Amino acid sequence: MTTSQQKAFDRLWPKKGLAVENGLLDLESAFGRRSTVVLEIGFGMGQSLAEMAANEPDADFIGVEVHKPGVGALLRHMEEQSLENIRIFWDDANEVIDKCLPDASLDRVQLFFPDPWHKKRHNKRRIVQLEFVQRIRAKLKSGGVFHMATDWEPYAEHMMEVMSEAPGMENISGVGQFSPRPDTRPVTKFEKRGERLGHGVWDLMFRRVD
């Protein structure tokens, strides 16, 4: 962590941090209101999550990240931009999903540029697997959306295969179709660089239908 990340962590974590040990989350008391709730898994350094939270002040965002400097970086963005609509778990998303999130409570789940695990023998470590999707689905409200994005084409294809098999999830853009990037997902610096180099980005958006 940089000094400024650590300072932001020390100041804000007691107010904005959530702990798996506290069990099932009461969303209304966590945010002090009842609103649209968005879960972001693996927010990295938090830049795009902060931007989304600033763009959607009426929505509440739960960010989950295992990497502590990322948590510090997001807290710094929150402090600089006076963002009140983000709460953070510094933990494994699997734990948070299973122990803390009420069923049918989320309007949107976002998974942007998850670790691609390029090597074939590591593909099974990819977070997007049928069993994972079923756990996400249980946490989405009916009609809630699971939005994924990746810049690694084989992972995009893997996501499409898994999602197309997942019961109770429907592709918003039609069977087998990737989605155009919605305005809710900001373009990151890294993605802009990729665009200049001719790399692609694939968005997938699936809705819970039962």
Ligand X SMILES: C[S@@+](CC[C@H](N)C(=O)[O-])C[C@H]1O[C@@H](n2cnc3c(N)ncnc32)[C@H](O)[C@@H]1O
Is residue 92 at the binding interface for ligand X, with CB under 6 A as the rule?
yes
Taking the C-alpha atoms of residue 39 and residue 37, their distance in angstroms, rounded to an integer, is: 7
Query: Binding ligand X by CB under 6 A: which of 94, 142, 173, 177?
Result: 94
Give me 72's structure tokens: 């510090």
C-beta closer to ligand X: residue 67 or 207 = 67
Query: Binding ligand X by CB under 6 A: which of 9, 39, 42, 159?
Result: 42
Strands (E) located in 81-139: 86-89, 106-112
Find the binding residues for ligand X in span 146-205 (CB under 6 A).
188
C-beta closer to ligand X: residue 117 or 171 = 117
Stretch that binds ligand X, among 31-39, 80-88, 109-117, 202-210 (CB under 6 A): 109-117
3: how many CB neighbours lie within 10 A of its CB?
A: 8
Catalytically annotated residues? 115
Smallest separation (angstroms) from ligand X to the CB of 171: 22
Smallest separation (angstroms) from ligand X to the CB of 184: 14
Strand partners, 135: none
Taking the C-alpha atoms of residue 121 and residue 113, their distance in angstroms, rounded to an integer, is: 20
Query: Binding ligand X by CB under 6 A: which of 74, 78, 93, 205?
Result: 93
Taking the C-alpha atoms of residue 75 and residue 24, their distance in angstroms, rounded to an integer, is: 23
Is residue 113 at the binding interface for ligand X, with CB under 6 A as the rule?
yes
Helix %, strand %, coil % of the chain (to 5): 40, 20, 35
Give me 160's structure tokens: 């499409």
Smallest separation (angstroms) from ligand X to the CB of 40: 7
